[in-house]
Structure 1
Amino acid sequence: NTVILDVVKYDDHTIGILGSVAKPRDEMLFEYSISPVPAHFHKLDENWVRDYNWKIAPNTGPYVIDTIRKGKYIEFRRKQDWWGNDKRYFQHRFNPDFLRVKLIRDINIAYQYFRKGELDSFPLLMPRLWHKKAQGRIFEQGYAGKIKFYNSVPRPISGLFLNEDVPLLSDRNVRYAIAHALNIDKVINTVLHGDYERLQTAHEGYGDYSNPDIRAREFDLDKANRLLNAAGWDTRGPDGIRQKDGQRLSIRVTYYSSGHNDRLVILAQEARKAGIELSLQLLDPSAAFKQILENKHQAAWMAWSGGGLSPRYWQFYHSDNAHKPQTNNVTNTDNPEIDAKIDAYRAATDKASRVKLARELEQLVFEQGSFIPTFKVPYTREAFWRWLKLPDFHGTRSTDSLFDPLGSTGGLFWIDSDEQQRVDEAKSRNKALDPVMIVNKRWATGDE
C-alpha cells in the first residue's frame, strides 16, 4: 500500500496512522481515516469469504442489520443506546427506528410502489421522471410532494472518453473536432428539458482546486471541419462521412444505459454534419465495462463518480496506467508533461501548491482532448410522502440525497406519524391538501 504505510496502537483508545505523503489538515483527515473492524468477530482463514459474506458484523454506526431476505429486502434496527446520539454532528439525525431497503429491479415498478405509499420517497433526477412520471392525484392533492435541492459537491466525471490507442483517435485534431461536433446544448434543451447543465471540465465542485477558467469546446461545425481538413480527412464519401486512405471516420461509442438512447441519437445525427459517424453500441453494464477495461473500446460514454476533497489525476491520466487492462486510464493518456505534474501534485504537502498544480493539470487534460465533458446536475430531486419531514434548511452543502437514512450527509429527515394519519384520512375522503413543491437554491453557484 503506497498511501497508508503503517497503523500503530498506543492504547485501547488511541491509534496512529502513518501516511506516505504529508497533506493539508482537512485532506489528511479524509485521506488517512480508517474504519475500526471488530477483531473478535472475524476469523481470517481460507473459508472467510464463504463463512462471513452474509454474517452481520458489529459496527459503530447508528443502525445494525436486523433481517436479511436474500433478493428481497434488508431491514435495519436503530441502536437506542448509540454512542453518537448526543454528539454535535449526530444530534437529531438517523431518526427512524426501523429501515427496510427493498430490492426492486425495475424503476417503473418501484414508482408504482411509491405511488401506493409503500415506498416513502423516490428519486426524480432523470428528467422523464420529474416531468412525466411524477404527476397525478397524489401530488395535485398534496399527499406527496416534490423537492429540488441544489448542492455543492464534486460532480461526476461525465462524458465521452476517447481511446488514444485507437489509430483514428491518436490525432489531437480529430479529438478536438469530435468535441466541436457534439451538440451537447441541443441534447440539454430537448430530451433533457433544459434541466441539466454543461460540464465544463473533468473536475468541478472541488472548490479552489477546480479551474474556473476552462470552458468546454462548444458545438462549432466550422471549427470541426477545419480541424478535420487539417488532419487529412478532407474528402467525403457518398454517405457524407469523411474518408482518408480508404478508411471512413467512424467511431464506435460504447454505452450501457438505454435511458441515454435519445441523447446519443441526437449527438450522432449532429456529428454527421461534420462528416463523423458515431456508431452507437449499447451493451449491458457488465459487458460494457469488460470491453472498456480491456481497452477494446474506441469511445466510452460513461461517468465516474466524484468524491474526495481534491481531484484524482493519477488513476485517470498517468502513463503508469496507460496501455494496459484493468485501469481507470480508459483514454490511454500517455503524456510526460502530465506525468510530471501528477507526480508533483501527489508529492505536494501544502494546499496552495496542490491547488496550483491541480489547475495546471486540468488545463493539460483539456489540451489533451481525450475527455469530452457533457452534463452535470447541480442538485438532487426527490418525491416524498408528506409525512417525511425535513429541517428548515432541508439539507447541507454536500447533501446528495435528502431522504437517505444513512451516510455522512443523510439521516436528517423524520417521520411525522400524526401527519401520516392526516394524509390517510384525507385520501380516504378525497380531500385535497396544499400541494408541496420546494426549490432550495441556498447552495447554488452563480452559474445555476
Structure 2
Amino acid sequence: MTIKKRLVLLSASTAALFSINVFSADLPANLEWKTNDSAPIFASSQATFGGTFRTYTLSFPQTFRTVGPDSNGSFRAWILEASLPPLIKHPNTNEWLPGLAQSWAFGDDNKTVYFRLNPKATWSDSKPVTADDYQFMLKLMRSTDIVAPWYNDFFTNDIADIITFDKHTIAIVSAKARNRDELIAYTNLMPRPKHFYGEPQIDANNDGIDDKFVRKYNFKPEPVTGPYYIDKIKKGKNITFKHVGKDWWGYENKYNQNRYNVEKINIKVIRDADIALKHFEKGNLDTFDLVRPDLWHDKSEGKNYQKGYIQKAWVYNQAAVGAGGLWLNTSKPMLNDINVRQGIMYATDFDMMIEKVLRGDYSRKPNGMGFGHPGYDNAALQAPKFNAKRAIEYFEKAGFTTVGPDGIRVNDKGERLSFAVTYSQQSFTPRVAVLKEQAKQAGLDFELNLIDGSSMFKYVLEKKHDISFHNMGTGEIPAYWEYFHSDNANKPQTNHFTNFSSPELDALIISFKNEFDIEKKQALSREIQQVIADANVIVPGYMVPYARAGYWRWIKLPEQIATKQTGYLFHGWGFSQTFSTFWIDEKTKKETKAAMKSDKTFEPVIIIDEAYKL
C-alpha cells in the first residue's frame, strides 16, 4: 500500500494561523514556514481515557535531574520523555511532525532553524511555555554549576545562539552549517521552565544558575510540557505519574490524539525481575516485558495464560541499535595492552550465549558501535567468532605464557589474566556465566560482578569497572564524541567507558561533527568505526529486534499494534519507545476479575506481528 504524504508550506500571509504575535523586523521575511498535517496517524480511535497503569522499575533513581551527576540512569527516559521537543518524527514514515512547535522554517545559512511554538502550550503546572524558557535552557546548559561536561560542550560549541523574536517565535542557531535533517536533530531542543528555578540563592560565578543546583534539584522533578508529570514520590518504593487531564494542550495536535490514554502511571520499585513477574501474574502489575527468551518460552505458560486472562504479543521493529557489548576499560592494568584486548575479542563467545541462553531470539551486533544507521554503519565490520586458539596466541604475545593450576594464564609478574565483568541485573548472570565458562578455554577468567540497577551505571560512569556489560541507546546518527574523544577520557560522569582515545580518532570525530556533506559525513563515520574496531575496545554484543510482552486482557492495543520504532509495547523505560497507544478497558477489567472468581475462561491469545521483521 502506498502512503500519500503532503508537506504544507506556509506563506507569510497564512502565518497568522499559527501565531497571534506580530513578528519583529528582525525576522526574515522570506521564510517558508512548514508544518505537516497529512502523515498517517498510528493510534486508535477506539482508545478510551482513564485508569491507573501499574508497572515497575528495578531501582529507585538516584536523581530526578536529567543533567549532572548520576542523571544518566535508566529512569532518565521517563523524565526526559515526559516533555515534547519542537518536532517529533513519525515512527513509520520518518517525517517531521509538529510537537511543541506548530511550524518551522530553515534559514539560508544552513545553521538556523526557526520555530513557532504553540501559543497554547503550557507546563504541567499551567504556566505558559515561552521563548524565555528557551533562553533559560541555554543559560542552564552552559553553566558549570550543573556539573555536566557533555552538555556544557554541546551547548557552547555546537549551539551558537538562541534568538527570540517574540513570545512564541525563536531561532536556534547551530555553530556549524549542517544538512537539513541533521540540522533539525541538533536544534530540536526542549526548553526548561525558567519560573521553576527562579533566581539563584547563591551565584558566585554570576551565570544566573544556582551554585548548589546539583544538590538543590536532586529530587525536585521539574514541570513538563507533555501529558504526564511526576505527582507522588515514596523514596525507594514508588513513583506516580499523573495525566494533566483531557484538556492537555497537546491534544489539539492530531498525532497526539488517542495516545497517552491512562490517567495515572504507578511505578513500583521491585528489585528483582523474577519477583516482578510473580506480581504481574497475581494481577498486581498490568503488563510485563517478556523480552527474555526464558520468560517468553518457559515462564509465561501458566494457568492465567491458558485461561486467556493474560495475553501475549511479539512484534518486530526496525529501530536503530546503540553501542555496546563488553566495554574494556583501557585505563586498567593489562587492558591497556592491545594484545590482551584482541585476545578477549576471540575468547568471548556471544554466539554461544545467544544460542544456549537466549534461544537464538537475539542477534549479534556486527560491530560495537551498533546497527541500523544506513550509510553510517561500516558494513565491512563483522563481530569476531569465538576462537580460543587465536585468543591464546594474542595472550601469549602479551606475556601470559604460563597456565596456572586453575587453568587461568599468568605472566612473569605473577598477574592472572582475570577481569571483573560488571552488569546490572540478576537475570544477566546466566549470560555472563556462559562467557566466563567459554573464556576459560583460552585461559581467561571473567569474574562476575553484579551491581544492581542504577548503582551499576554510577559505578561505570565513575570508571571503576574493568569490563562493563551494557548497551546504550542511539539516534539516527551515531554518536562518537561522548564515547571516544579524549576530552571525555578518564573523567567521571562521562560516557567514555573504554577510556581509549588517540589523536587520529580525535581528529576524525571532530571532522565528523563539522562535516556538512552527508556522503562525506557517512564516510567519516565508517572510518571512525574501523578505528574503534581496530582498537579492540568493545566486544560487540547482542541486539533485540523486537518487543515482547504479556498483558492482562483489559489492556488494549490498536489494530496495528506496533510501529517500526516500537521498542516496548507498554511503558517500561519511558514514553517514546511505546508511543503510548495502549489503553485500559475498565469494563473488560471487571469482566475478567469476575471470570477469574467463577473460573470462566477465554480463548488464549498470542499475537506475533512480523510486519517490520527484517
Shift of 1:416: 2.6
Counterpart among 208, 213, 225 of residue 60 in structure 1 = 225
Residues 404 and 249 of structure 1: CA distance in aligned 2, closer, same or farther (over 3 Å): same
Matches within 5 A, 1:18-57: 18-46=173-201
Find the residue that maps to 1:148 and give its secondary structure. Answer: strand
Find the residue that maps to 2:280 and give its secondary structure. Answer: helix
Matched with 1:191 is: 357
Matches within 5 A, 1:13-412: 13-46=168-201, 58-70=223-235, 71-201=237-367, 202-257=369-424, 258-284=426-452, 288-289=456-457, 292-297=460-465, 299-404=466-571, 407-409=575-577, 410-412=579-581
Give runs of ≥4 in structure 1 deviating > 6 Å: 50-56
Residues 351 and 117 of structure 1: CA distance in aligned 2, closer, same or farther (over 3 Å): same
Shift of 1:342: 0.7
Residues 17 and 97 of structure 1: CA distance in aligned 2, closer, same or farther (over 3 Å): same
Find the residue that maps to 2:442 and give its secondary structure. Answer: coil
Deviation track 1:129-158 (CA, whole Å, cap 9, x = no partner) reads 333332311111111111112222232423
Deviation track 1:38-64 (CA, whole Å, cap 9, x = no partner) reads 434442333876877666755322234
The answer (yes or no) to whether the contact 2:323–2:474 under 8 Å persists in 1 is no
Structure-2 separation of matches of 1:67 and 1:246: 56
Residues 116 and 46 of structure 1: CA distance in aligned 2, closer, same or farther (over 3 Å): same
Structure-2 separation of matches of 1:68 and 1:290: 22
| Structure 2: unaligned runs, 5 residues or longer | 1-155, 203-209
The answer (yes or no) to whether the contact 1:144–1:386 under 8 Å persists in 2 is yes
Shift of 1:239: 3.5
The answer (yes or no) to whether the contact 2:399–2:412 under 8 Å persists in 1 is no
Answer with 304-313 or 340-349: which moved more. 304-313
The answer (yes or no) to whether the contact 1:65–1:77 under 8 Å persists in 2 is no
Residues 422 and 246 of structure 1: CA distance in aligned 2, closer, same or farther (over 3 Å): same
Structure-1 separation of matches of 2:382 and 2:592: 48
Residues matched between the structures, number: 444
Structure-1 separation of matches of 2:371 and 2:503: 24
Letter in 2 for 1:365: I
Answer with 51-60 or 144-153: which moved more. 51-60
Letter in 2 for 1:13: H
Deviation track 1:245-288 (CA, whole Å, cap 9, x = no partner) reads 23344222231333322222222222121122223333455665
Letter in 1 for 2:608: V
The answer (yes or no) to whether the contact 1:8–1:16 under 8 Å persists in 2 is yes
Structure-2 separation of matches of 1:61 and 1:35: 11
Letter in 1 for 2:439: A
Find the residue that maps to 2:298 and give its secondary structure. Answer: helix
The answer (yes or no) to whether the contact 2:347–2:439 under 8 Å persists in 1 is yes
Shift of 1:331: 1.7
**Identity %, equivalent residues:** 37
Higher relative contact order (CA closer than 8 Å, sequence separation 6+): 1
Shift of 1:367: 0.9
Matched with 1:419 is: 588
Letter in 1 for 2:549: E
Letter in 2 for 1:369: N
Answer with 107-116 or 191-200: which moved more. 107-116
The answer (yes or no) to whether the contact 1:161–1:331 under 8 Å persists in 2 is yes
Structure-2 separation of matches of 1:286 and 1:65: 19
Shift of 1:324: 4.1
Find the residue that maps to 2:165 and give its secondary structure. Answer: strand
| Structure 1: unaligned runs, 5 residues or longer | none
Counterpart among 437, 443, 448 of residue 612 in structure 2 = 443
Structure-2 separation of matches of 1:92 and 1:375: 34
Structure-1 separation of matches of 2:190 and 2:403: 59
The answer (yes or no) to whether the contact 2:400–2:417 under 8 Å persists in 1 is no
Shift of 1:340: 1.6
Letter in 2 for 1:107: A
Answer with 52-61 or 2-11: which moved more. 52-61
The answer (yes or no) to whether the contact 1:17–1:32 under 8 Å persists in 2 is yes
The answer (yes or no) to whether the contact 1:7–1:15 under 8 Å persists in 2 is yes
The answer (yes or no) to whether the contact 1:182–1:219 under 8 Å persists in 2 is yes
Structure-1 separation of matches of 2:469 and 2:193: 37
Answer with 370-379 or 288-297: which moved more. 288-297
Answer with 75-84 or 365-374: which moved more. 75-84
Structure-2 separation of matches of 1:328 and 1:420: 44
Shift of 1:294: 4.4
